[in-house]
Amino acid sequence: MAEPQSVITQVSADQGLPPVMQDQGQDFLDDDSLIHMNIQENHYYITRDQLMSLPESLLLCLFPSGVFMDRTGQVITNLTSQDEVYVGNFAPDCFEYIMENYVRAQEDLVNFPVEEIFDRGLSSREPSRFFGFSSPNALSPAGHSEADILHEKPSIIVLREDLDYYCVPFQPLSYPEDASDELKTGLDENFISQVKLAAGSYLSVQTSVFQGLHSSNRLKKPQSDSPDQPTPKLGPAEQHLMDMLCSSGFQGTSVWGNRAQEPGKSVISSLSLCRLMNETTQEFRDQVEEAKKNHEEKMLSTRAQSESPSLTPLQSPSQQHNDTKRKSRLSSLADNVRSRSASRHRSSSRQRQDQAPTLYELVSKPDINSKLLLFWKKPARKCWWGEEELKLPLKLYGQVNPETGELLLLPDGPIVTVEVPIKLHIRRVWTLELSVVGVE
């Protein structure tokens, strides 16, 4: 099968929420009551509108079956305020991380509407009510495109990683001579469990977002393990994906906002919610306020200089009479022309100073990658494999043969610390989606 050339493989259209979830609680939607959510015995209350405004990729993580269920696993067919929606396979701190970001974006949307900056409903002569400067779009109302949404609404880049890992230990093992098959099986299972836990701890502390991209089997690894060896170069698809994310708010050193191993599974789930740096952010508002302050100080300084009296040397009456005599009729005419021209120039300059600058004359327009619109309401996935050979420290009941290095597994007895060499096979699945707050 040919390898796809796209940066990220698009999720098929039938991956959306099932109709059952879309239809649940339609009567409940009419009133503004709260949904009681129980996430691993942590209780939260959220409106249905708030919940359904979350991006599809996150809703499918919260409700994999696409329906609301109670504690007993029964589907809630008619959701009311008395029902308890139970979620047992999602981390509570991850849910809190999600809601903190979306509540902050919603507050920016309500308290600092960008429409007041652009001020499209007013004429070009009226200043913006929010910043006190004339709107750039009011001066040029034409050309409003879909890409402008990324400048007008709070937007969040949702990047999720589901990591599965598989351990292949190379440690030679032995068992007591009188051990039964059942005991050997139990010792093996305990050994593998300890290996998986140690591997999970090793991977969990790797919080760099883009470290996984450099671990793909498709990349050419350096021949030596020396730390001086350069990092393997990304392929064109991986580099394109990283460039798009880094130009939209991520940094090369970005870390996952939430990363945790699922209990009892060799699965690590990571999530990063990156706010798109556009006109809705506090950083942009601070830049505008600072630019406004600097502009006003400059205007006051310029006005003070223009209104200060000019100092010219005094001349005696005889000198003035002689100078007047020396002026010819032609030079007097030229002086009059220059005087009228200077007067018009001062008047035009004064008019330009009195006219408020546009928003983007004060602050540069944020440079937003329009390719993000490809992932708006269209979650996409990318999957790749990687492998790594390492030694994991384990604490087990047993003894190590110093000559052969063989590990004797025991059901009890002294605890030994041994470094077990393993090969770690890692499968990563990235899900990328753009979420625009305030747009249905």
Give 102-140 pLDDT, tens digit per residue: 999 999 998 988 777 655 433 333 333 333 333 333 333
Q: Look at residue 85 and give its three-state secondary structure.
A: strand
- Choice among 58-62, 238-242, 358-362 with the minimum mean pLDDT: 358-362
What is the pLDDT, as a whole number, of residue 311? 53
- The CA distance from 242 to 251, in Å, is 9
For residue 147, CA distances in Å to 226, 366, 376 come to 46, 12, 11
Tokens 């093996």 locate to: 188
- Mean pLDDT over 270-285 rounds to 92
Give 161-172 pLDDT, tens digit per residue: 999 999 999 989
- Mean pLDDT over 136-152 rounds to 58
389 class by beta-carbon count within 10 Å (0-12 exposed, 13-18 middle, 19+ buried)? exposed
Residue 227 has pLDDT above 70, yes or no: no
Domain coordinates of the chain in residue numbers? Answer: 158-253+378-436
- The CA distance from 219 to 385, in Å, is 11
Assigned token pair, 141: 């109302």
The whole model's pTM is what?
A: 0.77
Q: Pick the closest to residue 105 from 158, 56, 66 (CA basis).
A: 158
Residue 91 has pLDDT above 60, yes or no: yes
Instruction: Look up residue 29 and give its DSSP letter.
Output: H
Assigned token pair, 22: 């879309």
- Mean pLDDT over 376-395 rounds to 93
Alpha carbon 64 to chain centroid distance? 23
Per the CB < 8 A criterion, the answer to whether 379 and 432 are in contact is: yes
Determine how many CB atoms are found less than 10 A away from the CB of residue 6.
10
Q: Give bridge partners of residue 274 from the DSSP assignment.
A: 157
Give 316-371 pLDDT, tens digit per residue: 555 555 555 555 555 655 566 565 555 555 555 554 555 667 788 888 888 888 88
For residue 276, CA distances in Å to 104, 149, 157 come to 13, 12, 7
- The CA distance from 65 to 17, in Å, is 9
Tell me the pLDDT band of 250, cut-offs 50, 70 and 90. very high
Give 21-36 pLDDT, tens digit per residue: 555 544 444 446 789 9
